[in-house]
Amino acid sequence: MKKSALLLAIILCVSPSLFAQGTRPYEMGAKASFRIAIGRERANNYNIDLFGGYKFNKHVSAGAGIQYVNYGGAVLSSGIERVYVKTNDYRGFRPYVYGRYDVLPSHKWTPFVAARLGYGIFAKSKLTYGVVFGYDDSDKEDFEYLKDLDHTMVVRGNVFASIDVGYSLHVGKKGSKFSFGFSLDMQPVQFEYNHHKEKRTRFSFGPTVGFTF
């Protein structure tokens, strides 16, 4: 009860100054990103976000959002030497909470940093068996795709984290802004098929654009 009263007092103290400046104390927006896989994973991904939050002051805002994400297929061990399993693209939703800090909110252009923490929930994916041609099994680019499998693979998500850095361009007088930057993302997943389980952590990095109003 005391914590709730303290939070309400903070909001009531901050909100009048925001309204006096003609700035809304809340924000909503959308964002899109395309990320290139880092490390041995060669599958890229893209995502689309919708989010909303509260502006605690000119610098700091926080809230929650939902993200649709599409990951490229993964190459996994089948348990048989030189035979691997390739998944199709797998998709899902990632609910999250976020925080954002604008460095120079009074300027037309301002640097910003934002962070998200959430959980990945993925749909099932179809499988394809493949045989590696090369002598180095770690290079799984050379595949002979043998056949599509009738069964599917379960993809289990986990807690993910991402961070954005970039610039925002203020438009209008109500706090609306375009954002341009780069995003680094980390998503652990577990693939389950034929009584086999394999864990992977997918790192990716790429450009992101968004609009907040």
Question: What is the 3 state secondary structure string of the chain?
Answer: CHHHHHHHHHHHHHHHHHHHCCCCCEEEEEEEEEEEEECCCCCCEEEEEEEEEEECCCCEEEEEEEEEEEECCCEEEEEECCEEEEECCEEEEEEEEEEEEECCCCCCEEEEEEEEEEECEECCEEEEEEEECCCCCCCCCCEEEEEEEEEEEEEECCEEEEEEEEEEEECCCCCCEEEEEEEEEEEEEEEEECCEEEEEEEEEEEEEEEEEC
Provide the pLDDT for residue 73. Answer: 76
Q: What is the pLDDT of residues 145-195, one digit of tens each?
A: 545 555 677 888 999 999 999 999 999 777 789 999 999 999 998 888 777
Provide the pLDDT for residue 80. Answer: 65
Assess whether pLDDT exceeds 50 at residue 20.
Answer: no
Provide the pLDDT for residue 148. Answer: 53
Higher pLDDT, 57 or 88: 57
Provide the pLDDT for residue 135. Answer: 36
Assess whether pLDDT exceeds 90 at residue 49.
Answer: yes
Percent pLDDT > 90 in the chain is 45
Stated pTM of the model: 0.77
Provide the pLDDT for residue 151. Answer: 60
Please tell me the least confidently modeled range out of 22-36, 104-118, 129-143. Answer: 129-143
Residue-range domains of the chain with CATH: 24-212 (2.40.160.20)
Assess whether pLDDT exceeds 60 at residue 204.
Answer: yes
| Average pLDDT of span 37-54 | 86
Provide the pLDDT for residue 47. Answer: 94
Assess whether pLDDT exceeds 50 at residue 17.
Answer: no
